[in-house]
Homo-oligomer: A and B are copies of this chain.
Amino acid sequence: MDQTCLCIAVRKASRRMTTVYDDALAPVGINLAQYSLLKKIRRMAPVSLTDLGAAMDLDRSTIGRNVKVLDRMGLTQAITGKDHREATVELSETGQGVLTTAIPLWERAQEQINTRLGADKVAQLEQLLAEL
């Protein structure tokens, strides 16, 4: 008997669900990870990479690299503060526009999942995941 591995199940679900959101966001040229990062930056801006990492539960270096991509896309910009160690970032105007456009697309993906699973099960799932 093959014991199911919760971790593998979660990873698989993660991949699949990410694809749904990525597809939904494709028209604006960003993926879910970038969307998530943009939203966080908007909320926290101006924010250091370290703080972003802590808030998103991601390694600082990961944030650094991902922000670099957003920078290259012109969606974010660095701000120079007093502490010359910090790389503080905020959304560019383009970034704000993209995020605004992206939100309804993201909501559509949310609805897609809600429809497929049912709102109560989604809530249940969120609850369980939060306990991990």
Residues of A bordering B, CB below 8 Å: 2-18, 20-21, 32-33, 36, 43, 57-58, 106, 109-110, 113, 116-117, 121-122, 124-126, 128-132
Nearest chain B CB to A47's CB is how many angstroms away?
16
Chain A interface secondary structure, helix, strand, loop or mixed?
helix
Q: Which of B11, B116, B131 contacts A117 (CB 8 A)?
A: B131
Q: Which of B4, B15, B17, B121 contacts A126 (CB 8 A)?
A: B4
A9 near B57: Cβ-Cβ < 8 Å:
no
Nearest chain B CB to A9's CB is how many angstroms away?
5
A132 near B13: Cβ-Cβ < 8 Å:
yes
A129 near B57: Cβ-Cβ < 8 Å:
no
B16 near A14: Cβ-Cβ < 8 Å:
no
